[in-house]
Amino acid sequence: MCPDLRAFVSDRLGRWEPATFHPLSMDPLPAEFPEGHRDLEPYQHLSLLWEMRNTPIHEFRHPGYGFQIVASDSPHYQQVQVGDGPSGWELVIPVGFLEGLHRRCAENLATWLRAENRNPWDSLQEGRMWIRGPSHPRPL
């Protein structure tokens, strides 16, 4: 991480009240970052959520759930300390948030398929993609 970006992030986190939970609304907007450090796509919540999705699916392990002390299913930050090292802030995406997101995605997909009069099975191709090879287009 570049020194000016590290200083910006350290300063921002240094102003957070220790041992409390902070909602995602505490995140800075891209325009607040130092010039030259506004390409933040890998660090946006959508990308981080995708990485968390990859953890249990590809590595067969659970991501950090955080302490379920907060009575909310909203994603938030919490302060953590591992061993004798310095404390830091960890993004926590509660299981309840992921369950609700999954449910809403499935419901919205079903609504869209009905509205468009689409059958999802029409996009399915027989066989495994890695066996078919690149000559066959990927289904939508």
**Residue carrying the six token digits 């919490």:** 78
Task: Check residue 16 and report its DSSP letter.
Answer: S
b/e burial code for range 108-123 (CB count within 10 A of at least 16 → b): eeeeeeeeeeeeeeee
Q: Which of 51, 93, 48 is nearest to 68 (CA)?
A: 93
Q: Which of 30, 16, 24, 40 is nearest to 88 (CA)?
A: 16
pLDDT given for residue 140 in this prediction: 45
What is the gyration radius of the CA atoms in the chain, in angstroms? 20
| Cα–Cα distance, 94 to 62 (Å, whole number) | 12
The answer, as to whether pTM is greater than 0.85, is: no
pLDDT given for residue 34 in this prediction: 81
Tokens found for residue 14: 């240094």
pLDDT given for residue 129 in this prediction: 58
Per-residue pLDDT of the chain (140 residues; tens, 9 = 90+): 567 888 888 888 888 888 777 888 888 888 888 877 767 777 777 787 777 766 655 444 455 544 555 567 888 888 877 778 777 887 887 778 888 888 999 999 999 999 999 988 887 777 665 555 555 454 44
- For 77, counting Cβ atoms within 10 Å of its Cβ (0-12 exposed, 13-18 middle, 19+ buried), the class is buried
